[in-house]
Structure 1
Amino acid sequence: MKTTSLAQNAIACALLLFMFQISSCDDEKEEMETVEPTVVIPKIKFDNLSERFFFIGDVLAISGENFLHENYETELYVNGQLINFSPDSNQLIEIPITDEMASGNNTFHVKIDNVQSDKMSFFLMSSGWQKINAFESNDIVKSYVFESSNKIFSLVDIASGPNSYYAIVKALHADSLGYEEASVDSPGANLSDLKMYDDQVGVAAGGMIGYFTTNSFQSSTTFGDLESYAFETQVSFISTNSCIIADAFGGHVFTEDMGSTSFVTQPFNYLRKARENGASYYGTIKSRGQSTSGDYYALGYFYRNQPHRNLVIKSSNGYDAWEMVDSTTLHTNMSSAKFIDEDLILSKTAEDVLVSSEDLGVTWSDMKTEVESFFIKSKSEWYIVSNDNLLFTNDSGSTWSVELELPKDSEVNHIHFSESKTILSGNAGLLYIKHD
């Protein structure tokens, strides 16, 4: 009996030990199978860029998804270089555009741990003067830029021969590759002038016909006189819904409803008179402008009789009721005169001297020699082209500084200004833009 009891106890102990070992193995197995949860980083997605073309000081805003993660920092790379920044939110990144970035095309992407966004690109236009390669070697009659837009509108002569003229409206838009030609519906060809009020509203003129656009020349409304012969037609005034077109002999077309209707006045008899055997021409108008008092002025000269005499006329509305101001002063510098105000006219003599008048062309004062052409930004700020340099004064000609070295034998046709941008147009594809 005693022996049996001992055997039973041994068996029980062995059984307990076996069960303990099984339990221990199960615990170890359970411990071995415990794994840390996998951290999932969702795909970084770019939905929209505020722009793809920037100047230094602008801010690139990027909207999208998954720009933040609770376990990892968000890294931004521009041209492969890590940039110090913090995302604004999970759906917004704003990148200041600085001069540390490359002028021209730039690429960027965002990275969170080992997850990387697609690469996107933008174009950086440096401050100062920059050449734009557009319109090949065509002559650019004039161009316009605006503060709230990166569009450029130009009147471009696309004629192939040096003595031919065939000007149409063209446009450039800015994107990640720089300035590229945009689609426009140019209103005919052989246009004589273009004037833009902003990046949507503008008028092109061909003869006494105007083309009024309110959508960046995607379309236009035709207005004016189909019969009248016109010479050296200019768009002398433009606003959001009105426009004045004028020719060298005093013919005018006026619209105040974006070209839906128009009012036409015929050339002045003392400048051009129609006859059965052809018109007679007695003089010409070369420049127009509006004074600070609100009156419109036109400057020119009579050439029928010797000696030639100045022509100065004014109007309260710019298209009719013109009054003679001066027709007796001997003609000196009205051929290239530009009206700035009633007490300031600038002109250039045949000897390339910049001259000014404070009495509507009666007397003149020398300002600068070796002047090929000149352009007006304000009453005291002027540009001149001299010896392939663009010079600037902001003190009415007392001092001059070199703004831009131009290619040899450059011919500048036009300069337009917005608050911080300036664009220069000329022959043989000459096109420069400046951003202050």
Structure 2
Amino acid sequence: MKTKLFSLVLCLLCLSCTNDDSKNPQEQDPVEQIARPIISSLSKNLVIEGESLTIEGENFIDDGFDTQVMINSMTFDVKPISNTKITIDITDSMGIENSSIRVKVSEQLSEAKYFFIVPKGWYKIETDLDIRKAFVFDDSNTITFLHDRELSPLSYNGRVKKMSGDHSGYKVILTNLGGGNIYDLEMFNENIGVAVNPVTGFFTTDGFETTKSFGDFWEEGEMPVETEIKYVDANSSLIVNCCTAHIYTSDRGETYSSFNVAEEVFSSDSFRTRAYGIGSDNYFYEIGFDSSSSPYAYYVIKSANGYENWELVSYSVEGQYSGKTYFLDYDLIFNISPNDELRISTDLTNSWSIVKENVQNFFIKDRSNWFIISDNNLYATNDSGANWNLELELPIDSQLNHMFFTSNKTILSGNKMLFIKHQ
């Protein structure tokens, strides 16, 4: 009897165990798996410090878990805009140059994407090219530049190329501009610009993917020597040779007119152009000298439209000058003397005042902001030369050729050198 009772109790216990609320592993509710984030694209491959970077992809949000972005070796908490988009501001604490980025949700980590961070302030872009001029604009990181392909200092062969930013920095891109030896380049914006060889101008509206050629100094009986671009805007351009011959287009190179200013004003072909610019009085000015005069006589002429109906302002042997000359306004013209002195004229070259000694080159942004090269250093003034500050230390024996300024960027180009500054 006791044996039967024990067996009954044992059966009841077994039945109770099989009816327990707990489930065997096969019957338990599955644990929800967190989806791994996926980065499909970045809004930029090259980012300037202070700019925002947008990350697009999938699985950036999972309820109950924080979302983080890992840049290089640092982790940042972020709040995604949506499950497919995150925006993060790039700061100087994240590192510079080659960088990686990942998205992390809980312990799930995306594959890395790569981009390039450029710091604010002066940054050296590595190059082995001799760059004559370089241009960059506030709405783009693409650099358009003119460089010398010849290795010999006794010869020159110019080409127009570009640099664009990618995840490994700046890379050189070829343009479709032919035209042989390109002597000068000016850009109105990233897409509109003009290049010239010694004979002809080339107008572009698409960053030199295509061009329209205009003018021909040979056909006009003029010397194709020292051909330079003196003016460019959205539709027009003026190119000038060494000897006051002008070619002008007002319709992006579709048509052009040509004339020789010296022959029009002086009935002579012995005049040489030094500088050209637009004054605050809205007149176009040209200054230069008469090579047939001894000593040289210096002339100033002006025109309401910059290409015809020139009016003589002055012709004088006073105020002798030579070398690099820059016209900022009719009352502010710059020159380097043979003694490496930066000088200014406020009376249309009749007289000169020394601003700074030991100056090998200079670049002018506006009436107050000037830059000079002195003993392999770049110095700047923001008070018209009253005070000078060290702006940038340069390599020994540097040859700097050009500076270009926008509201937020400055680019400095030279032989095997390219520096960019983001404000």
Alignment TM-score > 0.5, same fold: yes
Identify the match of residue 420 of structure 1 among 393, 405, 408.
Answer: 408
* Aligned twin of 1:198: 189
* Aligned twin of 1:344: 332
Q: Tell me the secondary structure at the aligned position of residue 19 of structure 2.
A: helix
* Aligned twin of 1:116: 109
Identify the match of residue 432 of structure 1 among 393, 396, 419.
Answer: 419
AA aligned opposite 1:32:
N
Q: Within the alignment, does 1:152 sit opposite 2:146 as a pair?
A: no
Change (3 A) 1:315 1:340: same
Change (3 A) 1:313 1:346: same
Identify the match of residue 81 of structure 1 among 66, 74, 83.
Answer: 74
Q: Which moved more, 1:103-112 or 1:23-32?
A: 23-32
Q: Report the Cα distance in structure 2 between the residues aligned to 1:371 and 1:105, rounded to whole angstroms.
A: 37
* Aligned twin of 1:207: 198
Residue by residue over 1:236-277, the C-alpha shift from the partner in whole angstroms, topping out at 9 and shown as x without a partner, is 11111221112222222222222122222245328998xxxx
AA aligned opposite 1:230:
P
Q: Report the Cα distance in structure 1 between the residues aligned to 2:357 and 2:22, rounded to whole angstroms.
A: 97
Identify the match of residue 246 of structure 1 among 218, 240, 251.
Answer: 240
* Aligned twin of 1:365: 353
Q: Within the alignment, does 1:142 sit opposite 2:129 as a pair?
A: no
* Aligned twin of 1:276: none
Q: Report the Cα distance in structure 1 between the residues aligned to 2:38 and 2:266, rounded to whole angstroms.
A: 67
Identify the match of residue 159 of structure 2 among 143, 163, 168.
Answer: 168
Q: Report the Cα distance in structure 1 between the residues aligned to 2:360 and 2:392, rounded to whole angstroms.
A: 15
Q: Tell me the secondary structure at the aligned position of residue 136 of structure 2.
A: strand
How many residue pairs were aligned? 418
Give the TM-score normalised by structure 1.
0.90
Q: Report the Cα distance in structure 1 between the residues aligned to 2:130 and 2:322, rounded to whole angstroms.
A: 26
State the Cα distance separating 1:414 from its structure 2 match: 0.7
Q: Is the 8 A contact 2:176 2:209 kept in 1?
A: yes
Q: Report the Cα distance in structure 2 between the residues aligned to 1:293 and 1:47, rounded to whole angstroms.
A: 54
Higher-Rg member (1/2): 1
Give the TM-score normalised by structure 2.
0.92
Structure 2: where are the runs of 5+ without partners? none
Q: Report the Cα distance in structure 2 between the residues aligned to 1:143 and 1:124, rounded to whole angstroms.
A: 21
Among all aligned residue pairs of Structure 1 and Structure 2, give the percentage whose two residues are the same amino acid.
Answer: 35
AA aligned opposite 2:242:
A
Q: Report the Cα distance in structure 1 between the residues aligned to 2:362 and 2:343, rounded to whole angstroms.
A: 11
* Aligned twin of 1:277: none
Once the two structures are superposed, the pairs formed by residues 25-64 of structure 1 within 5 Å of their partners are 25-28=17-20, 31-33=23-25, 34-64=27-57
Q: Report the Cα distance in structure 2 between the residues aligned to 1:241 and 1:283, rounded to whole angstroms.
A: 29
* Aligned twin of 1:234: 228
Q: Report the Cα distance in structure 1 between the residues aligned to 2:370 and 2:178, rounded to whole angstroms.
A: 32
Q: Report the Cα distance in structure 1 between the residues aligned to 2:21 and 2:414, rounded to whole angstroms.
A: 84
State the Cα distance separating 1:314 from its structure 2 match: 0.8
Q: Within the alignment, does 1:217 sit opposite 2:205 as a pair?
A: no
Q: Is the 8 A contact 1:271 1:284 kept in 2?
A: no
Identify the match of residue 393 of structure 1 among 370, 373, 381.
Answer: 381
* Aligned twin of 2:119: 126
Q: Tell me the secondary structure at the aligned position of residue 78 of structure 2.
A: coil
Q: Report the Cα distance in structure 2 between the residues aligned to 1:14 and 1:385, rounded to whole angstroms.
A: 107
Q: Report the Cα distance in structure 1 between the residues aligned to 2:323 and 2:276, rounded to whole angstroms.
A: 12
State the Cα distance separating 1:224 from its structure 2 match: 1.4
State the Cα distance separating 1:113 from its structure 2 match: 2.7
Q: Tell me the secondary structure at the aligned position of residue 155 of structure 1.
A: strand
State the Cα distance separating 1:22 from its structure 2 match: 6.0
AA aligned opposite 2:377:
N
